[in-house]
Amino acid sequence: MQKLTQFFIFMCCLALSSNSAAFSINQLSQVQATNSLKQLLEQGSDIAIKQLGQNGGFSQSPKWRIKLPNALQKPAKLMRTFGQGKYVNELEDSLNTAAEQAIPHAKELLLNAISKIRLEDAKQILSAHPTAATDFLKRTSEADLRARFLPIVQQQTNQSVLSQQYSQVASKAKKFGFSSDKVTSIEDYVTEQAITALFAALAEQESALRANPKQAAGSLLKQVLEGLR
């Protein structure tokens, strides 16, 4: 009987402890919630940008490497068959180099978007699903990122004679009976692939921090994430 009573008391304390943690999150001020959300996004975006924006961030990554557009997959395969695979490899390498050059320029835009998070939105975003903060940042910064990335990609592709390589592939595709009319602008394609990879990497970082608050930088963010678990 005594052991049963002790067990009951232990379980009650455990439940009270859990409720206390949830209560502390509910009692966060809007400023605290906003600051912790900003810290979450700043830490996650910093890691994602460093990961993708380095040499090999795309080209050497099995996960993030940019492949040729779907419209060129079949002709590229035929080109490899006919011993012209080097043109395909050079083109694909150039796509990835262009993305790696563009990614670091996202930092300023993301920080600007993060700084504009409204107090009334912070708690809802923090208490939502594991990538809610990333989704919010994507909605508020994607258009600006696209506008910033495109000229950088264009500049890089010009330097790496990407346009010539692309024209060669498109020309070969036409010879093999594949229309090149459906091939999107290579600059637009790389820009979209880079943006997609950036937010996917940021989403991974957000999920990881929420799952393991000990990895979070800053005591406030750690406390908030612990309380949300």
Task: Pinpoint the alpha helices (H) of the chain.
Answer: 2-26, 30-52, 73-81, 85-102, 106-115, 119-126, 132-159, 162-175, 186-211, 219-228
pLDDT in tens, 202-229: 999 999 999 999 998 888 888 888 887 7
Q: How far apart are CA 162 and CA 78, in angstroms?
A: 20
Highest mean pLDDT among 3-12, 64-73, 132-141: 132-141
DSSP 183: P
**Two tokens at 12?**
């009650």
**Residue 16 banded pLDDT, cuts 50, 70, 90:** very low
Given CA atoms 114, 61, 98, 70 in this order, what sign does their dihedral have? negative
Q: How far apart are CA 151 and CA 156, in angstroms?
A: 9
The residue ranges of every structural domain in the chain are: 34-228
**Residue 14 banded pLDDT, cuts 50, 70, 90:** very low
Percent of the chain, pLDDT > 90? 47
Q: How far apart are CA 94 and CA 190, in angstroms?
A: 10
Over range 196-200, report the average pLDDT. Answer: 98
Q: How far apart are CA 44 and CA 209, in angstroms?
A: 8
pLDDT at 83 over 80: yes
pLDDT at 5 over 60: no
How wide is the angle at C-alpha 203 spanned by C-alphas 198 and 208, nearest 5°?
Answer: 130
Which amino acid is residue 177, in one-letter code? G
CA dist 26 → 19, 90, 222 (Å): 11, 54, 16
Residue 97: its pLDDT value, please?
93
Residue 162: its pLDDT value, please?
56
**Residue 171 banded pLDDT, cuts 50, 70, 90:** low
